[in-house]
């Protein structure tokens, strides 16, 4: 089986794709398959299917051509859709945001793979 490879896009340092931390679920497609240092100088990526992932726990190698390689796999687990009754939904919206509630109501696809030389490589490798 051949791994799906997506060429990544290096975004400018200081990129902030989301203002509301819960809006990360609904990123614009312009950010898909990208990587960048955010305004806190932390490496972050957006997987080819749109999941925003902090790379803070991964060693990152910067290459001369501006691409990066992340040491180890990147895993974004599936978020299963969930429903809320009216009173619970209203309470959560008041304490967090509408975007937060929508994220949980819609769910999110998972993604697992690697970021090597600026390319997203979908799939996990067997451990020897």
Whether residue 72 lies inside any domain: the answer is yes
pLDDT at residue number 22: 46
Whether residue 128 lies inside any domain: the answer is no
| pLDDT one-digit tens code per residue, 87-122 | 988 988 888 778 778 878 888 888 999 999 999 999
Whether residue 12 lies inside any domain: the answer is yes
Whether residue 87 lies inside any domain: the answer is no
Whether residue 117 lies inside any domain: the answer is yes
Given a cut of 80, whether residue 19 has pLDDT beyond it is no
Domain count, the chain: 1
Q: Is the pTM of this model over 0.85?
A: no
User: Domain range spanning residue 62?
Assistant: 5-77+109-122
Whether residue 101 lies inside any domain: the answer is no
Given a cut of 60, whether residue 26 has pLDDT beyond it is no
Q: CB under 8 Å to 35, separation ≥6 — which residues?
A: 8, 9, 10, 11, 43, 44, 45, 46, 55, 68, 115, 118
């Amino acid at each position: 089986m051949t791994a799906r490879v997506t060429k990544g896009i290096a975004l400018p340092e200081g990129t902030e794709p989301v203002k509301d931390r819960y809006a990360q679920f609904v990123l614009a497609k312009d950010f898909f398959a990208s990587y960048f240092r955010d305004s806190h100088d932390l490496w972050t990526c957006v997987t080819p299917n749109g999941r925003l992932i902090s790379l803070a726990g991964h060693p990152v190698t910067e290459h001369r051509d501006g691409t990066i390689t992340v040491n180890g796999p990147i895993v974004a687990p599936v978020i299963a859709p969930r429903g809320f009754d009216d009173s619970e939904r209203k309470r959560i919206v008041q304490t967090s945001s509408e975007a937060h509630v929508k994220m949980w109501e819609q769910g999110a696809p998972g993604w697992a793979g690697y970021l090597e030389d600026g390319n997203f490589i979908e799939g996990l490798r067997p451990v020897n």
